[in-house]
Amino acid sequence: MLLPSKIPNTVLGLLAGVAVVVSAHAEPRGYLETVNRHTTLTSTVADNGDLNPYAVVVAPVSAGKVEKGDVLVDNFNNVANLQGTGTTIIGYRPSTKQTYLFAKIPVNLAQCPGGVGLSTAMTMLKTGWVIVGSTPSKDGTTATKGDGCLLVLDPNGNLVSAWSGPTINDPWGNMAVVDDGAHVILFVSMAGFDVPSPRVIDPATRLPVVVHKATVLRLELSIAAGKPPQMVSQTVIADGFAQRADVDNFLLGPTGLALGRDNTLYVTDGLDNVITAIPDATTRTTSAGVGRIVTQGGLLSWPLAMTWTPDGHLLVCNGKDGRVVEVDPVAGKQIYARWLNTNQAQSPPGNGNLFGIAMAPDSSGIYYVMDDVNTLMKEAR
């Protein structure tokens, strides 16, 4: 019998899915089987009609409008339901069950190529600053998309600055963050490089053309007391991920980013239905390409955003069904899957309804959004 380290990574990915079936009832399945209570927390539709919730972020501090533990959710669509045109961030306060408007950003910004369409790339720092990605469009498709930018907001939701440039092209996936206050490292996936209109079809697949140019960008920031974050350096630490336009979903590209305790960055690539690992993420000076395969196929079905469990497993939202999948990234093993959205109007149930996900600070459950009904949810113990 070959040792696991001697088995090709592609085979390990396939075996991960099989292991779930064989041993699901013989081994503990981790965090997901401890949460089974759905709670609807709030509508995520803004006062201007923005909808289609994407990012889910839990506030690490109290600052400005925000109380520690508040959940921030941004909207990707405007009132006409055009993708890449949402400009609002909603806040939900678990302590009082109140919902408030955190930010409403102008649609057109000279410093943000293409305008504003808020994506899953969002975080709140320990200093109170909020950084959110824009992946904009004029007509709801990639035919008119801009390169976008990263927007810096103060704790009251006011726009302070925007970062753009040749390494920033449609910030897309949920951010991984290392934050000690004065110094911050951000990881953001970029999924817009040379993506054509969804009308450009690959004759072999009869789908929009796939371009293998998506990247993961590491940004290093410096924050002086009372001053907004300043970008110190940018490094592309991974590239070559699949990306393409999509009529229903606007853009498909690497979405989930999660930094492990051993300095490994885990990345979901939905088009290839895989989770990969980038070693030495905070220190490497060159690109690792797409990294090594951690797990592929099995219970994964277009993996999107990710978050950590207290025991070091990954929870991964599926984009093509309404399940979240628990993965042991060290063993490369898929543990368990739970249905969060079972809307029968889609096939499979919940197809296209999940996106952002975040762990509650006390580990009592997970926050997630349901795009089909524009709500923030909690799956709790």
Q: With respect to residue 216, please indicate whether it lies within any of the assigned structural domains.
A: yes
Strand order in the sheet with 365-370: 37-43, 375-380, 365-370, 357-359
How far apart are alpha carbons 281 and 325 in whole angstroms? Answer: 24
Six-digit token string for 126: 């320990």
Which pLDDT score, from 0 to 100, does residue 27 have? 53
- Report the domain count for the chain: 1
Predicted TM-score of the model (pTM):
0.92
Cross-strand bridge partners of residue 241: 214
pLDDT, mean of each 10-residue run, the chain (381 residues): 32 36 53 94 98 98 98 98 98 98 96 97 98 98 97 98 98 97 98 96 95 98 96 98 94 97 97 98 98 98 98 97 98 96 95 96 97 97 89
Which pLDDT score, from 0 to 100, does residue 29 have? 74
CATH label of the domain that carries residue 122: 2.120.10.30
Which pLDDT score, from 0 to 100, does residue 227 have? 96
Q: With respect to residue 1, please indicate whether it lies within any of the assigned structural domains.
A: no
Which pLDDT score, from 0 to 100, does residue 253 have? 97
- Integer-rounded Cα radius of gyration of the chain: 19
- How many CA atoms does the CB half-sphere of 33 hold within 13 Å? 9
The answer to whether the beta carbons of residues 74 and 122 sit under 8 Å apart is yes
Six-digit token string for 93: 């306060």
Cross-strand bridge partners of residue 202: 207
How far apart are alpha carbons 46 and 173 in whole angstroms? Answer: 22
Which pLDDT score, from 0 to 100, does residue 293 have? 98
DSSP conformation letters of 247-312: TTTEEE----EEE-TTSPEEEEETTTTEEEEESSTTT--S--TT-EEEEESTT-SSEEEEEE-TTS
For residue range 91-118, list pLDDT tens digits in order. 999 999 999 999 999 999 999 999 999 9
Q: With respect to residue 131, please indicate whether it lies within any of the assigned structural domains.
A: yes
Instruction: Domain of residue 63: give its range.
Output: 6-380
The answer to whether the beta carbons of residues 334 and 298 sit under 8 Å apart is yes
Which pLDDT score, from 0 to 100, does residue 343 have? 95
Strands (E) across 94-175 are located at 98-104, 118-124, 130-134, 149-153, 159-163
How far apart are alpha carbons 367 and 93 in whole angstroms? Answer: 12
Q: With respect to residue 247, please indicate whether it lies within any of the assigned structural domains.
A: yes
How far apart are alpha carbons 225 and 238 in whole angstroms? Answer: 32
Closest CA to 255 of 275, 282, 279, 237: 275
